[in-house]
Structure 1
Amino acid sequence: MRAFDHDGLHYFRFGALPDNGAVRHAVFSRHGGVSAAPFHSLNMSMSVPDERDRVYANRRRVYGLYGRDTDSVVHAHLVHGADVARVTQADNGTWVEHVDGLVTDQPGCVLSMNFADCAPIFLYDPRRRAIGLGHAGWRGTVADLPGAMVRAMTAHFDSDPADLVAAIGPCIGPCCYEVGAEVIDGVRGVFAGAEELLRRAGEQGSRGAGEKNGDRRNFDLPEANRRNLAAAGVRAIETADLCTACRTDLFFSHRAERGRTGRFGTVFALM
């Protein structure tokens, strides 16, 4: 990813995805907003106890880069699942219920989701001019939210998975994501080579607690989602390689900040 600054906003773009007059995207850092600690400063979410006026001021700053506001952007009510909705301009200003993926091929449709450790998933079909934005925590990853997004784009837009370009945004990395039995069992139940995704706490590159937590592992969330995309037939996949828990100077992290934090925003737009 490459970093950009505009009117005090600090954000990132993927090299693999276009950002031009027709298709635009960004992953925003936690900087450039008006929220006070512990949500400082560009908190985009009302799911945390930030002040409403500050959140909406932050949204106006972010969406204003695209000539939009909250009432002209499509949001999702995230539930850590694998359901995907097709949306159009008619959905602008709404929160689509109980989904973790949005897809569209309609110009004028702007997709937005917020994060604080879960993995942002971007999908782009340059042939059909369609886009998708998804949210994959461990539950969505085990349920194959990325694969569900690929299948939705195939069903709705006749996308060929081999044509798709994918990007996985900043999320908690295996260095910091210590997990217990529920996650370990879930990963082992669906992934071939699951042990490669579950480092023992204390292994090189892991910040787990070592021998005292022998029944715990560190889960490689971005790699698991990369494997999901590849299994669905996607060939071009870029990963951000930024751990939100390590980089609380740039991003909000629910894990590292013990739940007292905000949510950083992502935008994917067909203009």
Structure 2
Amino acid sequence: MKTFTSPALAALPELRHAFFTRDGGVSKGIYAGLNGGLGSDDNPADVAENRRRMAEAMGVDIDHFLTVHQIHSPDVAVATTPWTVETRPRADAMVTATPGIVLGVTTADCGPILFADPKARVIGAAHAGWKGAFTGVLENTITEMEKLGATKPDITVAIGPLIRQPSYEVGAEFVTRFVDADPDFARFFIPSAQEHHSMFDLAGFIRMRLERAGITAINDTGIDTYPNEQLFSYRRTVHRKEGDYGRQIHAIVLGD
């Protein structure tokens, strides 16, 4: 089972993490591989088996492998005990200080962001697409970690595989939304080959939001989901006119 990791997180004690890829799963067709997306139209039994395999790789039972019902929001859930698929919160980030609970976020171009304070033993995971990053999911994750005892100087953050600027074309109204909020945000856009369109630097925007929030230890994997066939990509699926798409899961857990 091939995964990507962050050297910065890997160096921290009593912590496991993984940015999972498509490798090692049982799904077929357009979902081929390790599809963890409960919201996809994949065979539910295949998704369940994929998630069981990921839980095993993280060293926990499946009932401790948690994800939320993601809604592109700034909302953060605090995990103290396991929840079920049916009772999972509607949110886009999670935090915990409880060992053995895996925090997992699903993506297919959006940014998976993993957080850890090894001194306070507090971790977080956020699903940061443009909307979540724009409306504060990263800052809110940090705030909830602080409530559990974390401190900003001790938090290390890893930015996982996401759609990168060479692959992320947006329209003029998208650019206007950002620049109207803060003229400085214009630096995250460069002209595209198509008139009145731009290429958006989501990873750069995420890094800026983290830095403005007071985080200095930031590690970026630099991986672009769109051209990488080892990873699911929503935009690539749209361009290929496929009917649906899989999701990879990115996870972090505190050791006992």
Q: Which amino acid aligns with 1:216?
A: H
Q: Specify every segment of 5 or more residues in structure 1 that has no aligned partner in the other structure, as ranges.
A: 1-8, 202-209
The verdict on how the C-alpha distance between 1:44 and 1:72 changes in structure 2, with shifts beyond 3 A counting, is same
Question: What corresponds to 1:232 in structure 2?
Answer: 213
Question: What corresponds to 1:263 in structure 2?
Answer: 247
Checking the alignment, whether the CA contact within 8 Å between 1:59 and 1:70 is kept in structure 2 is: yes
Question: What corresponds to 2:124 in structure 1?
Answer: 132
Could you report, residue by residue, the CA deviation over 1:241-260 in whole angstroms, capped at 9, with x for unpaired residues?
A: 1110021x210000012163
Question: What corresponds to 1:152 in structure 2?
Answer: 144
Checking the alignment, whether the CA contact within 8 Å between 2:114 and 2:251 is kept in structure 1 is: no
Shift of 1:92: 4.1
Shift of 1:19: 6.6
Shift of 1:48: 1.1
CA distance in 1, matches of 2:132, 2:182: 13
2:170 matches 1:179: yes
Could you report, residue by residue, the CA deviation over 1:180-233 in whole angstroms, capped at 9, with x for unpaired residues?
A: 2342123213345222101110xxxxxxxx2xx322211100110000100000
Q: Which amino acid aligns with 1:237?
A: I
Question: What corresponds to 1:218 in structure 2?
Answer: 199
CA distance in 1, matches of 2:161, 2:34: 16
TM-score by length of 2: 0.92
2:101 matches 1:109: yes
Runs of 4+ in 1 over 4 A off after TM superposition: none
Shift of 1:101: 0.8
CA distance in 1, matches of 2:7, 2:183: 30
Question: What corresponds to 1:47 in structure 2?
Answer: 39
How many residues align? The count is: 250
For the residue of structure 2 that corresponds to 1:65, the secondary structure is helix
Question: What corresponds to 2:223 in structure 1?
Answer: 242
Question: What corresponds to 2:189 in structure 1?
Answer: 198
For the residue of structure 2 that corresponds to 1:167, the secondary structure is strand
Checking the alignment, whether the CA contact within 8 Å between 2:56 and 2:62 is kept in structure 1 is: no
Question: What corresponds to 2:232 in structure 1?
Answer: 252
Checking the alignment, whether the CA contact within 8 Å between 1:73 and 1:109 is kept in structure 2 is: yes
CA distance in 2, matches of 1:16, 1:67: 20
Checking the alignment, whether the CA contact within 8 Å between 1:59 and 1:69 is kept in structure 2 is: no
CA distance in 1, matches of 2:57, 2:156: 23
Question: What corresponds to 2:74 in structure 1?
Answer: 82
The verdict on how the C-alpha distance between 1:115 and 1:215 changes in structure 2, with shifts beyond 3 A counting, is same
TM-score by length of 1: 0.87
User: Percent sequence identity over matched residues?
Assistant: 32
Checking the alignment, whether the CA contact within 8 Å between 1:75 and 1:93 is kept in structure 2 is: no
Could you report, residue by residue, the CA deviation over 1:8-41 in whole angstroms, capped at 9, with x for unpaired residues?
A: x110110000377721100011111111110011
CA distance in 2, matches of 1:265, 1:232: 25
CA distance in 2, matches of 1:49, 1:19: 37
Question: What corresponds to 1:98 in structure 2?
Answer: 90
Checking the alignment, whether the CA contact within 8 Å between 1:73 and 1:92 is kept in structure 2 is: no
CA distance in 2, matches of 1:180, 1:69: 44
For the residue of structure 1 that corresponds to 2:2, the secondary structure is strand
CA distance in 2, matches of 1:182, 1:48: 29
Q: Specify every segment of 5 or more residues in structure 2 that has no aligned partner in the other structure, as ranges.
A: none
Question: What corresponds to 1:204 in structure 2?
Answer: none
Q: Which amino acid aligns with 2:65?
A: V
Shift of 1:59: 1.1
Cα RMSD over matched residues? Answer: 1.7
CA distance in 1, matches of 2:212, 2:119: 21
